[in-house]
Amino acid sequence: MNHTKDPNPIIRLIRRGDSEHTERLHLRQLTIGFVRSGTMAIHTAKGIIQLYAGEIFILPRGIHLVEYLTSSDKLYEELLFTAGEEILSTLLKDFSLFTPLQTSGVVTPSSDYLTHQRAGRTLNTLLEGIREYLDHDIFDRCGVMARMKTAELVYLLLTEEYLEICSMLRLLTSLPREPLEQFAVRHILSRKPLAELAREYGVGLSSFKREFRERLHISPHQWFLARRLEIASGQLLGSERQVKAVAHECGFTSTSHFIRLFRSHYGQPPSQYRSAHQQIAPTRAPLEIKIEMDNIKNI
């Protein structure tokens, strides 16, 4: 695997005070996270995945469009453990020798490679202790402590009932080559040209296009466009953001170009689409959006 190496994991605290805050989260390494307070919404091509206080989750490398939601009396807070696949793979192999109950379980991952579970009491105790370490800058003064605490986290995930989390960790750290669909998913919001994505994947542009058609039965351009438009439609229905902001967050460099593509795909410009569909479903709910590829094949 050609991943960026880091001698020690990085543990950090993310805190947001706005009642609603959306940003593009760039992750260069596989990340384990824990929501301490508030709610995080991850916008994917399949809809909105909401993570609540007390949940632990896995985010693969890539660009994620996330929204932080807070209450009037509480900030949004989360702990992030960012580590190289080599470190996590070694920990999983070493600890699996002592955790036979978890080694045989297999969970089929979702196509967006996002997994989350409720954290139990023991895991919560560990994570609250790590929060205190961050308050006292212990990880900044002693980097090896971050590796020790990450090892403790992985051990608890293996010894308790976190089958989905552990299966996803094994999947993302053990494959000799990143699956094409996973690679594509983590670049949905990237603004890189196809040639650059092909180089990052380790093949030429022609091979990249050919493998894309063989594996996903569609061209890269059509695949990325369809999913960015789906995320944009979710943004339009799930927030009051201006069309220009939605276009930018979803990887479109030109608002007018985004409006033209959106109208071609959905039959209405973004503003009309929002008005028409919010009348039908005004509440904020996870979106189930079907891909109609025939509508964009000629774009």
Give yes or no for a contact between 164 and 69, defined as CB atoms under 8 angstroms apart: no
Q: Are strands 62-69 and 20-27 parallel, antiparallel or unpaired?
A: antiparallel
- Residue 286 belongs to some domain of the structure: yes
- Residue 2 belongs to some domain of the structure: no
- Residue 4 belongs to some domain of the structure: no
What average pLDDT is seen over the chain? 81
Range of the domain at 202: 187-295
- Residue 182 belongs to some domain of the structure: no
Give yes or no for a contact between 145 and 138, defined as CB atoms under 8 angstroms apart: yes
Q: Are residues 131 and 234 in the same domain?
A: no
- Residue 5 belongs to some domain of the structure: no
- Residue 111 belongs to some domain of the structure: yes
Q: Are residues 30 and 95 in the same domain?
A: yes
Q: Are residues 148 and 259 in the same domain?
A: no
Cβ atoms within 10 Å, residue 18: 11
Q: Are residues 215 and 168 in the same domain?
A: no
Instruction: Among 177, 199, 220, give the residue marking a domain's end.
Output: 177
- Residue 255 belongs to some domain of the structure: yes
Instruction: Among 108, 142, 177, give the residue marking a domain's end.
Output: 177
Residues in the chain: 299
Give yes or no for a contact between 243 and 259, defined as CB atoms under 8 angstroms apart: yes
Q: Are residues 116 and 207 in the same domain?
A: no
One-letter amino acid at 104 equals S
Please report, for the domain that includes residue 207, its CATH number. 1.10.10.60
- Residue 161 belongs to some domain of the structure: yes
pLDDT tens for residues 275-288? 888 755 444 433 33
Q: Are residues 121 and 192 in the same domain?
A: no
Q: Angle, nearest 10°, between helix axes 144-159 and 85-96?
A: 50
Residue indicated by tokens 């953001």: 241
Please report, for the domain that includes residue 64, its CATH number. 2.60.120.280
Closest by CA to 42, choosing from 120, 153, 116, 123, is 116
Q: Are residues 142 and 32 in the same domain?
A: yes
Give yes or no for a contact between 266 and 240, defined as CB atoms under 8 angstroms apart: no
Going residue by residue through the chain, which has 299 residues, state the pLDDT in tens, using 9 for 90 and above. Answer: 444 445 688 999 999 886 677 888 888 888 999 999 999 988 887 778 899 999 999 988 888 889 888 876 778 999 999 988 888 888 887 887 665 544 444 445 454 567 899 999 999 999 999 999 999 889 888 888 999 999 999 999 888 778 888 888 888 787 666 778 888 888 888 888 999 898 888 788 888 999 899 888 999 999 999 999 999 998 898 888 899 999 988 888 899 999 999 999 999 999 999 988 875 544 443 333 333 434 443 33
Q: Are residues 134 and 206 in the same domain?
A: no
Give me the sign of the Cα torsion angle 236, 242, 247, 251.
negative
Q: Based on the structure, what is the number of domains in the chain? A: 2
Give yes or no for a contact between 41 and 237, defined as CB atoms under 8 angstroms apart: no
Give yes or no for a contact between 271 and 262, defined as CB atoms under 8 angstroms apart: no
Q: Are residues 171 and 234 in the same domain?
A: no
pLDDT tens for residues 49-80? 899 999 999 988 888 889 888 876 778 999 99
Residue indicated by tokens 């932080």: 68
Q: Are residues 24 and 172 in the same domain?
A: yes
Instruction: Among 177, 211, 242, give the residue marking a domain's end.
Output: 177
Q: Are residues 115 and 209 in the same domain?
A: no
SS3 call for 277: helix
Q: Are residues 24 and 155 in the same domain?
A: yes
User: pTM value?
Assistant: 0.64
pLDDT tens for residues 236-283? 988 888 999 999 888 888 999 999 999 999 999 999 999 888 755 444
